[in-house]
Amino acid sequence: MIDSRAFDDSTTVISARGPAGGFLGRRVESEIFEAVRRGRQRVIVDLSMLEVPAPGLLGTLLRSRRLLLALGGQLCIVTPSDGHDYFGARDVDDMLPGAADLTCARAFVAGGSA
């Protein structure tokens, strides 16, 4: 299940919960595009309640972050562990900023550090 909400005028929080379906990456990407369309170029993707990351989700998040950076925005993820452990891939933390909770993620996308 995916829930998307405005956190403030320029930030959207997208939360994924439960088991990951086959189209999770596309649904997250669609929500990010909708946020950009509404003028919110800072996006937090909260995966802390997702049981297992879906195949293709990492690629979707990396592409979306590249888009947001090109537009002057930012993307940060919230996961229950670091990116390497969560996605099972090396160097994820260098490519995709992560935070331990929404407060840290909000500070990061606003220009602070996670």
With residue 61 as reference, give the H or E element that holds it: helix 57-70
98 found inside a domain: yes
Average pLDDT, the chain: 88
114 found inside a domain: no
pTM above 0.85, yes or no: yes
List pLDDT tens digits, range 18-62.
877 668 889 999 999 999 999 999 999 999 988 877 778 889 999
Q: Which CATH number goes with the domain that contains 36?
A: 3.30.750.24
**Residue 106 confidence class, pLDDT cut points 50, 70, 90:** very high
Amino acid present at 95? M
Per-residue confidence (pLDDT) for residue 4, from 0 to 100? 96
Boundaries of domain holding 10: 2-109
51 found inside a domain: yes
21 found inside a domain: yes
Among 1-5, 28-32, 43-47, 86-90, the range scoring the smallest mean pLDDT is 86-90
11 found inside a domain: yes
Q: How many domains does the chain have?
A: 1
28 found inside a domain: yes
